[in-house]
A = this chain, B = another copy of it.
């Protein structure tokens, strides 16, 4: 993990396939990761859309080792390692560093609500001190609609001051552009990389000097999203952004994670992909039909998708 190789552009919180017994399926996951890399999309495995918190620490450690063992490049990986339990976050983060991952995307502990910035600072500081490895690069994961535990600008400022080499950036999934803008203005100039939480804000984030986006829909529309990240200075950028938004809008009209998996199942012809762990529920056949129909006018396709 060094400055030169810091992740930029587009990453995907890679959806996790489960077999008929709801066990994580490392082979299918590796296949999907390879397809994403072919499309210039990096691997933010164990994100919200990966159902990461629906898996045990042991299951995630096993998957991460298998992915690296299968030859997928850890330099393109930013696994989610933030858990409710201090000891879990430390264990997962240590493994990610040991395996050479480019960084980790770290949720704050999310069970208790209304906790203080002091408490959240203490949480990140404890993890950093316990991992105790200068290769560690932490991307803070701000996703208040789900975690209900926001990461304030004041907290980022304090963490950056205390751990300037380690606090590497943020994924802002607040959906609030004013917040992303404030992060870009206050922290990006210090080399703190701001990733938008979806491609909806990709162009705006890149124009504001940000690093890119980490987006659920990059699981299904990776090529087009990565293309905008690579060509955002060109004349057709607004048109590209509008085309991404049209696809995103279809997925957002359904429960996102089941819809992503249903699309992969449908376009690869591999029904296994439809499975989700509780408390999520797979799309019904009618919903899958509606999803596919709604995607048609956007010209959506998943070329080269691994079957």
Enumerate chain A interface residues (CB-CB to B < 8 A).
22, 48, 53-59, 84-88, 91, 108-113, 115-116, 118-120, 122-123, 126, 145-149, 277-281
Q: In the complex, A123 Cα to B11 Cα: how many Å?
A: 30
Q: In the complex, A200 Cα to B39 Cα: how many Å?
A: 58
- The CB with the most chain B CB atoms within 10 A, among A86, A108, A111, is that of A111
Q: In the complex, A278 Cα to B277 Cα: how many Å?
A: 28
Distance in angstroms from A298 CB to nearest chain B CB is 26
Q: In the complex, A22 Cα to B109 Cα: how many Å?
A: 16
List the B side residues contacting A48 at CB < 8 Å: 111
Q: In the complex, A122 Cα to B22 Cα: how many Å?
A: 12
Q: In the complex, A59 Cα to B87 Cα: how many Å?
A: 9
Flag if A279 contacts B123 (CB, 8 Å): yes
Q: How many monomers of this chain does the complex have?
A: 2
Distance in angstroms from A248 CB to nearest chain B CB is 19
Flag if B280 contacts A115 (CB, 8 Å): yes
Q: In the complex, A62 Cα to B44 Cα: how many Å?
A: 32
Distance in angstroms from A293 CB to nearest chain B CB is 23
Q: In the complex, A115 Cα to B280 Cα: how many Å?
A: 7
Flag if A120 contacts B279 (CB, 8 Å): yes
- Known contacts A53-B84, A56-B57: A113-B279 contact under CB 8 Å: no
- The CB with the most chain B CB atoms within 10 A, among A56, A118, A147, is that of A56
| Residue of B54, B123, B126 touching A111 (CB-CB under 8 A) | B54
| Residue of B53, B87, B111, B145 touching A56 (CB-CB under 8 A) | B87
Q: In the complex, A146 Cα to B149 Cα: how many Å?
A: 11
Q: In the complex, A58 Cα to B87 Cα: how many Å?
A: 10
Flag if B122 contacts A279 (CB, 8 Å): yes
User: Which chain B residue shows the least CB distance to A88?
Assistant: B56
